[in-house]
Every structure is written in C-alpha cells, then in structure tokens.
Homo-oligomer: A and B are copies of this chain.
Amino acid sequence: MKLIKAIIKPFKLEEVKEALSELGIDGMTVTEVKGYGRQKGHTEIYRGSEYTVDFLPKVLLEIVVDDSEVEKTTETIISVAKTGKIGDGKVFVLPVESATRIRTDETGAEAL
C-alpha cells in the first residue's frame, strides 16, 4: 500500500475528486494547507508596510491505495490538476505498512 500525498490548487479539488471517484477510489482525506514554492507569493501590504506572503492556499490530498492503483491514481491526479501554470503542485508517494478500517477492524486492501 502507498500513501499518495498530492498538493493541488484549491479550485481543482472538486474536479480531482470526481475523476478519482470515477476511477473507483473510495476514500481520501483532505487538508487545507499553505504552500511555499516557486510560485512566488505576492508582495503584500498591511498598514503601510510591505511584506512577502510566500504562503499560498493549497489543498493536500492524502490517499492510501493498493500498490496496483498507485500509477493510475497519480496519473489521474496529475492530468486533472494540471493547469500548466506555476504552482500546480506535487504528488508524492510514500510507503504504507498497514491500514485498518476502524469500524470493522479490516486491514490491508480491505480497509481502503
């Protein structure tokens, strides 16, 4: 099993979710985050002083999937979330050792 962490632009969330859902991905966990990256933050102004806000609103998806599904999941995310403009985000894949569904104690792929 793998944990896919995808950082995307907030307005793409709905679309990505729908695409994954069509793919049969039944679950994911979403966090509002602030992203720092190449997409440079604006020079903001507050009461007369400038400062750079490097942190832009992003959305972090965390999806645990079976090894076999990693590829199509990441590909779907990438193709749907892509706008081609800077700041589109990243997809990271991490190993997961176990997964359990709290309700049923099922583990492994059953738990997803």
The count of chain A contact residues (Cβ–Cβ below 8 Å) is 57
B-side contacts of A54, CB under 8 Å: 17, 21
Interface residues of A in 53-112 (CB under 8 A from B): 54-55, 58, 60, 62, 64, 74, 77-78, 81-103, 105, 111-112
Give, as a whole number of angstroms, the nearest-CB distance from A3 to chain B.
6
A residues near B (Cβ < 8 Å) are 1-3, 5-8, 17, 21, 26-38, 54-55, 58, 60, 62, 64, 74, 77-78, 81-103, 105, 111-112
- Give the 7 A-B residue pairs with the shortest CB-CB distance, closest first: A27-B37, A88-B103, A88-B102, A30-B34, A93-B98, A91-B100, A93-B97
